Structure 1
């Protein structure tokens, strides 16, 4: 097994991102590009979901059809051209959590959405034996290929056994710093990496397969809307938990 975050750290990140999605969906917004590059970090190592260049208003019960997003994170119903709804964001969250827990994507990317769809439909999404049963169950429910059966609400997300004794209260979640992120900030080479735009890169994590995870060659993005594509951020050279270098203004959602 290559480098990865501990399940305790993944639990904190999952709770914060789940709250962000629940907040957006309650206001009738689908993000459509939940991925590692669209996550910001606070000084204490907590997460903020950012970059709403592909988001749109979609009321509960509504349907969308535009194929957009980052191909490794796109739900099968998005890859197929819809219809899809807010459940697609929960699939993307499942892919992101899997990559944080293992250091790699569950399915290698394909060069186009049709090829990726065939692979996603045929892949069993088996959980590594190193996962705890509760984490395996959470990811299995998030990566359910049938969106009507997928874990797709914050209430159901909170009830997962993986979050036993975990608070979803914003103030309490933010109170305890994420130690692994603070340790990265204190490394002697942090200043040099900051000048190169790699301040929060996960590259210092020993054994983390950053080339396979987020190298430019492994990050094809599929956009059918030319105007939307112009606002889509370019891939980053490493698995940095920081905002992409897009052209438009960036907004944060504080959960």
Structure 2
């Protein structure tokens, strides 16, 4: 979160979104107590729409306002003065249910990105439990290649998720400027993102929206996977059925409505690496998931001749249409010939900067590319009840 970009409308993100419900209640756990810890979940966890019982009701004897607050507890605690030192610096991107803002904590001089979700929109779209799941997952995992959660809270009208701010931007912006990356740089990106996915899967977490727009970059050009809005916890052996994600990255088993598992994330990684190395996607995005499934089913996924045999073989392994035969675990991923002689140690991977990213950071077209047609008009009807927020949307400038 916090890169200089927005959701790519052309990629048909969020094809079909459902919320999660669970037989057990969710509990908030301080991040420092669960660093790299393993959590369990009920095997009966299902993907069902949120019940109307979770919505505020005027018949509540305590009043609709109290219920409008309690519905989001305990994952989003109510905050009155705890964030009075935050100063809004700009408008970073448009999220699904509100803007993503760049803010500064004037007491510490630290800069963060805040994802704002309108409570009314969250309830109207039936994604209350999914919004809670998003912050639960981010609280419970810490990894060098995942964007870190700093805090989350609620006001009367909105939910706030505060994460680190990555001023360099998102990978999609740089890919659109460069066209294709050298295999040496693709190898580093692949190792970092593969490490992040392997870590998440060991915790039973599927990301379900791996794409370049959700990869932010540090000041040295190394990646941070972000946006857990579609993620869910799924123990090994369980299956999911919700059609969700970004259509060009969705595995065939996801496009067909399941069942699918963590192997779908590795397919998305294969599509991403293919695009980075070749400058284009294997297939153009279709209008809906049915048409996309037909295209994916018919596509042979032949590798371009300009790819090295080692990279071509890795992509073939990742883009296997049969999930049980697909490369779908970190150990096998690391053993690929493409990574021969390379360390997967996070500190070593980040030691050297990614030169193409640093060279393009000051490209004159980067600000416009990063906004991707985003306009402040999208904020005209948005009420941001964050402390020290501007009096009107026009006071927010793109960053």
> What's the TM-score, normalizing by structure 1?
0.74
Q: What is the CA–CA distance in structure 1 between the aligned matches of 2:369 and 2:179, rounded to whole Å?
A: 22
Query: 1:25-40, aligned counterparts within 5 Å?
Result: 25-40=201-216
Residues 54-113 of structure 1: CA deviation (Å, up to 9, x unaligned): 000011111000000000000000000000000000000000000011111001111010
> What's the TM-score, normalizing by structure 2?
0.48
Q: Does 1:111 align with 2:287?
A: yes
2:379 aligned residue: none
Q: What is the CA–CA distance in structure 1 between the aligned matches of 2:240 and 2:261, rounded to whole Å?
A: 6
2:322 aligned residue: 146
- Tell me, which stretches of 5 or more residues in structure 1 are unaligned? 200-235, 239-255
Query: 1:196-215, aligned counterparts within 5 Å?
Result: 196=368, 198=370
Alpha carbons of structure 1 residues 145 and 8: separation in structure 2 relative to 1, 3 Å: same
1:126 aligned residue: 302
Alpha carbons of structure 1 residues 165 and 175: separation in structure 2 relative to 1, 3 Å: same
Q: What is the CA–CA distance in structure 1 between the aligned matches of 2:235 and 2:295, rounded to whole Å?
A: 30
Q: What is the CA–CA distance in structure 2 between the aligned matches of 1:164 and 1:69, rounded to whole Å?
A: 32
Query: 1:215-254, aligned counterparts within 5 Å?
Result: 236=372
Residues 117-148 of structure 1: CA deviation (Å, up to 9, x unaligned): 01101110000000000000000000000000
1:76 aligned residue: 252
Greater relative CO (CA pairs within 8 A, separation 6+)? 1
Residues 147-191 of structure 1: CA deviation (Å, up to 9, x unaligned): 00000000000000000111100110111110111111244x37x
When the two chains are superposed, the root-mean-square deviation of aligned CA atoms in Å is 1.7
Q: What is the CA–CA distance in structure 1 between the aligned matches of 2:255 and 2:362, rounded to whole Å?
A: 41
Q: Does 1:65 align with 2:241?
A: yes
Q: What is the CA–CA distance in structure 2 between the aligned matches of 1:185 and 1:37, rounded to whole Å?
A: 16
Q: What is the CA–CA distance in structure 1 between the aligned matches of 2:373 and 2:190, rounded to whole Å?
A: 24
- Tell me, which stretches of 5 or more residues in structure 2 are unaligned? 1-177, 375-399
More strand by share: 2
Aligned length: 197
